[in-house]
Amino acid sequence: MNVTAPLIEVEKLEAWYGRRRILNGVDFAVNPGEIRVIMGGSGSGKSTLLRHLLGLHKPRSGTVRLLGVDIARASERQMLDVRRQIGVSFQGGALLTSLSVGDNVALPLREHTNLDEATIRIMSRLKLEVVNLGGFQDLMPAQLSGGMIKRTALARAIAMDPKLLFFDEPSAGLDPVVSAELDELILRLRDALRMTIVVVTHELESAFKIADTITVLDQGDILMTGTVDAVRHSDNERIQDLLNRRPREIQVDADAYLKRLTEEAA
């Protein structure tokens, strides 16, 4: 793979939940070394897009290529190789509650490497130091605060030194100071470890602070992909609604409205 090839390539991706279409043929690419923020309101399809990028859903139509591998056609072996090179920090942390903080961070190392226990311990503590949680390895996830959970999840996500890091809603449910600290941490990770980072968020402030480029998603379509300034000065009405926290103007279709009210089986 040459150096400039995008790490993520999505072409004409469609996603459905039952009869409802969530993504309408999305095209999307992320280049090495950039921090891409996927922004959009609730129900815009950004979580669905993320789940496809992570290979948790197989696309119904269209292709998703991660690190050059088409995830719909990859063998289990190829998929495993891809997954060893990506790290994911989930919205709620998704730490294994039965394992201590240290064991959570060490889990990918234990499962995918043949390193001895002492090395794994040192490496997992190093990652905890990176996220400013040095010395917390013996606590259980239930004993952590919201910010600490997110930072532990981040430490686990970077345990294998991934090329590509996904971060779902880094600042959701955190106070402004803690979420600002997390933003700093994300920037530092990119600079220090040269990771390519994809962040999904609806927090404008944090998006503008960390993003190199922003993709704005709305109702299953990509409205635009561009630099922070380009997005800020976009003349697209929906983007300005999102930036200025204006409520959507919903146009009522009388026939559809009546049908929804009277229809028996949804």
Partner 1 sequence: MTSLTRPLESLGRATIGSLAGMGYAAVLLGESLYFSVAGWRIGQPLRPRAVAEQMRQIGVDALPIVVLLALTIGIMLGIQFIAALSAFGAQSQVVVAVAKSVTREFGALITAILVAGRSGSALAARIGSMSVSQEVDALATMGIEPVRYLAAPALLAMLVMLPALTIFADAVAIGGAALYSSPALNITPSAYVMQTLSLLEPGDVWQGIAKSAVFAVLITLIGVSTGFSVAGGAEGVGRATTRAVVLSICWIIVVDMIFSYFLNR
Q: Which residues bind partner 1 (CB under 8 A)?
A: 51, 54-56, 76-77, 79-80, 83-84, 86, 88, 90-92, 94-98, 107-108, 111-112, 156, 166, 264
CB of 237 to partner 1, least distance (A): 34
Q: Is the Cα torsion angle 233, 238, 243, 249 positive or negative in sign? A: positive
**CB 246: neighbour CB atoms within 10 A?**
11
Q: Is the Cα torsion angle 147, 172, 183, 154 positive or negative in sign? A: positive
CA 156 to chain centre: 14
Taking the least distance from each CB to partner 1, the nearer of 50 and 243 is 50
Task: Classify strands 61-66 and 8-17 as parallel, antiparallel or unpaired.
Answer: antiparallel
Taking the C-alpha atoms of residue 38 and residue 216, their distance in angstroms, rounded to an integer, is: 6
23 exposure class (CB count in 10 Å sphere: 0-12, 13-18, 19+): buried
CB of 264 to partner 1, least distance (A): 8
CB of 93 to partner 1, least distance (A): 8
Taking the least distance from each CB to partner 1, the nearer of 53 and 223 is 53
- Would you call 177 helix, strand, or coil by DSSP? helix
Taking the least distance from each CB to partner 1, the nearer of 51 and 248 is 51
Taking the least distance from each CB to partner 1, the nearer of 169 and 203 is 169
Query: 169 and 90 in contact (C-beta within 8 Å)?
Result: no
Instruction: Report, in angstroms and rounded to the nearest whole number, the Rg of the chain calculated over CA atoms.
Output: 20
Taking the least distance from each CB to partner 1, the nearer of 168 and 183 is 168
Taking the C-alpha atoms of residue 150 and residue 156, their distance in angstroms, rounded to an integer, is: 10
Taking the least distance from each CB to partner 1, the nearer of 65 and 83 is 83
* φ, ψ of residue 112 in degrees (nearest 5): -115, -5
Taking the least distance from each CB to partner 1, the nearer of 110 and 209 is 110
